[in-house]
Amino acid sequence: MTGVESRPGRVVNRAAAERLATGQSTLAEFAGLGRERLYEIAAAAYGLMNSGKLEEAQAIYRGLVAADPFDSVFRCHLGAVQLRRGHAAEAEAEFDAAVRFNRANADALAGRGEARLRLGRITEAVEDLRAAVALDPPARRPSTLRARALLVSLHRAALGRKTGQNNLR
């Protein structure tokens, strides 16, 4: 028998449970949630985030990250919610995970750069912002447009310090 009764009336596939328990599959795979359904849920959370319902969006993104902890997009969006809520350190951790899973995630690089700016880690922030802009030179994505604007502002601020002027008016 390949199934095991976990609760009265509920049979769980033993092989699937073992894959989950050993890290060979995700909770989403175990529950039978396909990519399409996960991304439908993520789209709803994105709408909540953009309408300012940050706590609701955060709860959904945390669930998505629990369901598939290796998805760069879910990590990135959870980071964006954390950043908007003013939790720069938590945001950086999520953006960092997103970049580990997809080094070409320009949104995650830009977000991590913004988080690092808020944390006062300017050199690392500039590296991330530059990397994001390099992935999207025409700045078609809102995140890379923000990254470019932040780099320009930082450059002007640095020039102002050198000349004794404040260019951030």
CATH number at residue 118: 1.25.40.10
pLDDT at residue 161, as a whole number: 74
pLDDT at residue 65, as a whole number: 93
Both 81 and 146 in one domain: the answer is: yes
* pTM of the predicted model as reported, rounded to 2 decimal places: 0.79
In a domain, 168, yes or no: no
In a domain, 52, yes or no: yes
Both 60 and 138 in one domain: the answer is: yes
pLDDT at residue 24, as a whole number: 56
How many distinct structural domains can be found in the chain? 2
In a domain, 41, yes or no: yes
pLDDT at residue 146, as a whole number: 96
Q: Are 149 and 130 in contact (CB under 8 A)?
A: no
pLDDT at residue 14, as a whole number: 73
Q: Which residues in the chain show pLDDT less than 50? A: 1, 4-7, 167-169
In a domain, 43, yes or no: yes
- What residues have CB less than 8 Å from 35, skipping those under 6 apart? none
Both 68 and 56 in one domain: the answer is: yes
Both 95 and 23 in one domain: the answer is: no
Both 28 and 39 in one domain: the answer is: no
Q: What range does the domain containing 96 cover?
A: 33-163
